[in-house]
Amino acid sequence: MRSAKGHGFEELNGTMVDLRSVVEGRFAASMTAPERFFEVSADRLAEACLAMARQFHRGGRLFAFGNGSSATDAQHVAVEFVHPVITGKRALPALALSGEGADPNDAFIRQLETLAGPEDIAMGFSADGGCANVRETLEFARKSGMLTIVFAGREEGDCTFGAEFAFVVPCNDPLVLQEVHEMAYHVLWELVHVFFEHRGLLETNAPPQASASAETGRDGRGAGED
Amino acid sequence: MSESPETAPEFERFLYPFLGEEESVPLERALAEVRESTRMKCRETVGLRRELLALYTDDLITAARSVADAFTEGRRLFAFGNGGSATDAADIVADLLHPPRFRPERAGGEGPRRALPALDLSHDVATVTAIANDVGFENVFVRQLIAFGRVGDVALGISTSGNSPNIVAAFRTAKRVGMITLALAGYDGGRCAELAREGTVDHLFVVPSSHIPRIQEAQATIYHTLWDLVHRILESSEEKR
């Protein structure tokens, strides 16, 4: 039911802005963007769950990082793993890296250099493109043999940040983009636990899928470490 | 490092029938199950968003008007929550203080959004731990609202259960101070629903679900929509002047 002025319309530049259509437009984007993303990314999400479970199984930890509002996603994913809201799920070691340091530009890298090893997981968030520090940190993590995951979007050119698992949401709206990221990392957290029920799968050194191994570039990692 | 697998709760056995089976499961079967599960979870959240749109379109506009009015009057917004909801509170404060850029800029020649005064009540770890240690965790937000809050400011509390004692206490204090109160909750709204009935909470948005991750995902759409509406309303009132 469209109502009169004062009940859903505001005047802007002499034209009426329909606030109801603002709400409808935002919700529509928040429904179609994730549907598209999950349709395309379900395979890689499942493989990422397995890869993360294998890292946790060999004693690894999750390090999450991002700038600005993405920093809140890093903290959100960390608390999910450390203090699961679903009874019966085990606590897993996860830390949100602080963006503060002597030089904020290399704060994330410095922390990983000191704290992390090849058994760990580096998870970067870059919702608004650029984020040189996230890119550099992921490059460092990959060179150090860590499992690398990035949640990105909107970037022109390479949005994978060189990460093994790049979840890129093709969407121009930074708010919707972030909502899709949240859904994706919640799912990773919820489903990593499924693989703890299958220790045989955790201890194998086989890549998640033989057919997908070419792009993972992780051959031999983890050998003899369990 | 190896740890013994934990017993799968009943509902997980239901969702993932092979959980808890000791014999080995083929990799492809496990991956297929997880793959389907990701899509199921997505459908659940999308369904919740569809419900919220039907339930709350008008309420969102009403709430956004009162928040926009508060900003116009020079008031501030305080956001608070626990755990993942604390990061959601921090997120909306980040969006208000440092408005994200839209690329390309939105149609209609509108410029970037202006920064709006907001505070995240979980941010200051010294304050939070001092209050928790000295007077209890129930008061971590109450104490700060007493210090910062003024008549006409906005208190935005986020709780998936709607029952968090420190959130409930914060709303009572906020209302006593004379603030505008907004609550985001899940399940059936819990104690926040009672607070709304008694007039302590002015604007209540309940995500009708008992799955915490899904509640949070749907709540994000609510506060992002509020953010957008508040800016649209402020822009239109600036134009009128």
CATH of A18-209, one of 3.40.50.300, 3.40.50.720, 3.20.20.20, 3.40.50.10490: 3.40.50.10490
Please give the pLDDT value at position A224: 32
**Total domains in the fold of chain B:** 1
- Per-residue pLDDT reduced to its tens digit, B125-143: 999 999 999 999 999 999 9
ipTM: 0.88
Q: Which residues in chain B have Cβ-Cβ distances shorter than 8 Å to A46?
A: 31-32, 34-35, 38
Task: Let me know the angle formed at the C-alpha of A120 by A116 and A124, rounded to the nearest 5 degrees.
Answer: 90
The residue type of B82 is N
Task: Say if the Cβ atoms of B35 and A194 lie within 8 Å.
Answer: no
Nearest neighbour of B102 by CB, restricted to A83, A174, A201: A174
Task: Say if the Cβ atoms of B103 and A129 lie within 8 Å.
Answer: yes
Q: Which residue of B has its CA nearest to A188?
A: B38
- Per-residue pLDDT reduced to its tens digit, B94-103: 999 999 877 6
Please give the pLDDT value at position B197: 98
Q: Is the pLDDT of residue B3 over 50?
A: no
Please give the pLDDT value at position B2: 40
Residue B116 distance to chain A (closest CA, Å): 15
- Per-residue pLDDT reduced to its tens digit, A62-105: 999 999 999 999 999 999 999 998 778 889 999 999 888 778 78
DSSP states along A59-123: T--EEEEESTHHHHHHHHHHHHHHS-SSTTPPP--EEEPPS-SSSGGGHHHHHHHHH--TTSEEE
Mean pLDDT (whole number) for B162-172: 98
Residue A72 distance to chain B (closest CA, Å): 5
Please give the pLDDT value at position B108: 47
Q: Quick check: is B1 in a domain?
A: no
Residue A165 carries which DSSP code?
E
Question: Is B241 or A56 the better-scoring residue by pLDDT?
Answer: A56
Please give the pLDDT value at position A153: 85
Task: Say if the Cβ atoms of A178 and B91 lie within 8 Å.
Answer: yes
Please give the pLDDT value at position A158: 72
Q: How confident is the model at residue B20 (pLDDT cuts 50, 70, 90)?
A: low
Task: Say if the Cβ atoms of A226 and B2 lie within 8 Å.
Answer: yes
Please give the pLDDT value at position B31: 95
Q: Quick check: is B14 in a domain?
A: no
Q: Is the pLDDT of residue A223 over 80?
A: no
E-state strands within chain B? 77-81, 118-120, 154-158, 180-185, 203-206
Nearest neighbour of B102 by CB, restricted to A8, A173, A189: A173
- Per-residue pLDDT reduced to its tens digit, A7-51: 677 765 555 679 999 999 999 999 999 999 999 999 999 999 999
Q: Domain residues for B70?
A: 25-240
Q: Which residues in chain A have Cβ-Cβ distances shorter than 8 Å to B34?
A: 45-46, 49-50, 191, 194-195
Nearest neighbour of B240 by CB, restricted to A11, A23, A195: A11
**CA B216, CA B85: separation in Å to the nearest integer?**
7
Please give the pLDDT value at position A217: 34
We report the CATH number of the domain holding residue B224 as 3.40.50.10490
Nearest neighbour of A128 by CB, restricted to B7, B101, B240: B101
Give Cα separations from A97 to A100, B43, B94 (angstroms). 9, 31, 17
